Amino acid sequence: MEEKKGMPLLGDSFPEMTVKTTRGTLNLPGDYKGKWFVLFSHPADFTPVCTTEFIAFQQRYDKFRALNCELIGLSIDQVFAHIKWEQWIKENMNVEIEFPIIADTGAVAEELGLIHPGKGTNTVRAVFIVDTEGKLRIIFYYPQELGRNMDEILRALEGMQVSDNNSVAMPANWPNNEILNDRVIIPPATDVDTANERLEKAAKGEFECYDWWLCHKKLN
Residue-wise pLDDT tens digits, 120-131: 566 778 999 999
| Neighbour-count burial of 84, counting CB atoms closer than 10 A to its CB (0-12 exposed, 13-18 middle, 19+ buried) | middle
Q: What is the pLDDT of residue 193?
A: 87
Residue where a domain stops, chosen among 121, 149, 177: 149
Q: Please check whether residues 105 and 213 belong to one and the same domain.
A: no
Q: Please check whether residues 139 and 90 belong to one and the same domain.
A: yes
Q: Please check whether residues 128 and 174 belong to one and the same domain.
A: no
Instruction: Look at strands 101-103 and 69-75 and give their pairing.
Output: parallel
Q: Please check whether residues 138 and 216 belong to one and the same domain.
A: no
Which residues, other chains included, contact 158 with Cβ-Cβ below 8 Å and sequence gap of 6+? 67
Torsion angle of C-alpha atoms 157, 128, 26, 73, degrees rounded to 10: -90
pLDDT band at 3 (very low <50, low <70, confident <90, very high): low
Q: What is the pLDDT of residue 125?
A: 87
pLDDT band at 111 (very low <50, low <70, confident <90, very high): confident
CA distance 122 to 204: 57
| Poorest-pLDDT segment among 38-52, 104-118, 161-175 | 104-118
Average pLDDT value over all residues in the chain:
91
By annotation, the residues acting in catalysis are 50
Write down the pTM of the prediction. 0.91
φ, ψ of residue 160 to 5 degrees: the values are: -65, -35
2: left (phi over 0), alpha (psi -120 to 50) or beta: beta
The answer to whether position 203 is within a domain reads yes
Q: Is the pLDDT of residue 4 over 60?
A: no
Q: Please check whether residues 129 and 205 belong to one and the same domain.
A: no
Give the number of domains in the chain. 2
Q: Please check whether residues 130 and 181 belong to one and the same domain.
A: no
The answer to whether position 5 is within a domain reads no
CA distance 31 to 47: 30
Residue 26: which CATH number?
Answer: 3.40.30.10
